[in-house]
Amino acid sequence: MTDTTQAVGVDFHCHLDLYPDFEAAIAKAEAARIYTLTVTTTPKAWPRNHELTRQTRFVRAALGLHPQLIAERAGELPLWERHLSETRYVGEVGLDAGPRFYKSLDTQKQVFRRVLQCCADAGGKILTVHSVRSAAQVLDMIEEHLPRDRGTAILHWFTGSRSEAKRAVALGCYFSVNAEMVRTDRGRALVAELPTDRILTETDGPFTQVHGRPSEPSDVEATATSLARVLGLSPEAVGKKVQSNLRTLLD
Ligand code: MN
């Protein structure tokens, strides 16, 4: 059962299966009542993620094939396709044109195109999308392959330009904002211009840290507080806004 009304916060992109104790990480998110989308990086991880989130109230799992793994794992695309009907949530998917992954960019695009096409065919999917150094290309592909009435993309940890953000808004995308994004002037300037009805929060744990330890879903409360300062709203107002955005997204 989807239980957004009882949640006290939203972590719409984290990797609970990369914590030392996956089951404990799920239990902790449940106890904290954080609506958590736990993403996967390979479809091989899907069955266990699916199994462990069948009965949870607040934690949902997403079926992914991470762009940074495409060089080695592009061959897992058929497996990803086989599992797609088992979930509404897709991620982590997208493109990474950073120096370490640039070599596989053409293959990444083939895979991401297929992912978008499959999602558009299925309808109603919610995707959490990586777009490092590739915002324009990611948006081109969403525009071409995922019509707005066939699915919704959430741009996770978006680092594109302000004009790219505007374009993403026009395409119907949401943004999941993490603590790192509001730590820099550039990030704050970008976030301040996002329409508040397209904002969600995330941790991207364990890839971000707080107080020298990996972030966990309950750390989104601090993110909501930082976000409130950037948006000129109260933390309570931001919390409510994010929850109502989540309900709109899931309805
Ligand atoms: Mn991630």
Q: Which CATH number characterizes residue 172's domain?
A: 3.20.20.140
Establish if 1 belongs to a structural domain: no
Q: Determine contact, residues 169/139, Cβ cutoff 8 Å.
A: no
Establish if 2 belongs to a structural domain: no
The pLDDT assigned to 5 comes to: 77
Establish if 3 belongs to a structural domain: no
Question: Tokens for 6?
Answer: 């009882």
Distance from the CA of 235 to the center of ligand 1, in angstroms?
25
Distance from the CA of 36 to the center of ligand 1, in angstroms?
13
Distance from the CA of 157 to the center of ligand 1, in angstroms?
8
pLDDT tens readout for residues 34-82: 999 999 999 999 999 999 999 999 999 999 999 999 999 999 999 999 9
Distance from the CA of 70 to the center of ligand 1, in angstroms?
14
The pLDDT assigned to 4 comes to: 75
Split into its structural domains, the chain has a count of 1
Distance from the CA of 56 to the center of ligand 1, in angstroms?
21
Distance from the CA of 33 to the center of ligand 1, in angstroms?
21
CA torsion 56-130-112-92 (nearest 10°) is -20
Distance from the CA of 226 to the center of ligand 1, in angstroms?
20
Distance from the CA of 180 to the center of ligand 1, in angstroms?
13
Distance from the CA of 223 to the center of ligand 1, in angstroms?
16
d(CA 52, CA 40): 13
Q: Determine contact, residues 221/30, Cβ cutoff 8 Å.
A: no
d(CA 180, CA 210): 10
Establish if 146 belongs to a structural domain: yes
pTM: 0.97
Establish if 138 belongs to a structural domain: yes
Distance from the CA of 175 to the center of ligand 1, in angstroms?
13
Q: How far is CA 143 from CA 86, 119, 132, 152, in A?
A: 25, 13, 18, 11
Range of the domain at 20: 9-250
Establish if 110 belongs to a structural domain: yes
Distance from the CA of 13 to the center of ligand 1, in angstroms?
6
Establish if 89 belongs to a structural domain: yes
Distance from the CA of 198 to the center of ligand 1, in angstroms?
19
Establish if 4 belongs to a structural domain: no
Distance from the CA of 61 to the center of ligand 1, in angstroms?
13
Phi, psi of 141 (to 5 degrees): -70, -40
Distance from the CA of 38 to the center of ligand 1, in angstroms?
9
d(CA 167, CA 173): 9
User: Along the 251 residues of the chain, how does pLDDT read in single tens digits?
Assistant: 456 778 999 999 999 999 999 999 999 999 999 999 999 999 999 999 999 999 999 999 999 999 999 999 999 999 999 999 999 999 999 999 999 999 999 999 999 999 999 999 999 999 999 999 999 999 999 999 999 999 999 999 999 999 999 999 999 999 999 999 999 999 999 999 999 999 999 999 999 999 999 999 999 999 999 999 999 999 999 999 999 999 999 99
d(CA 248, CA 251): 5
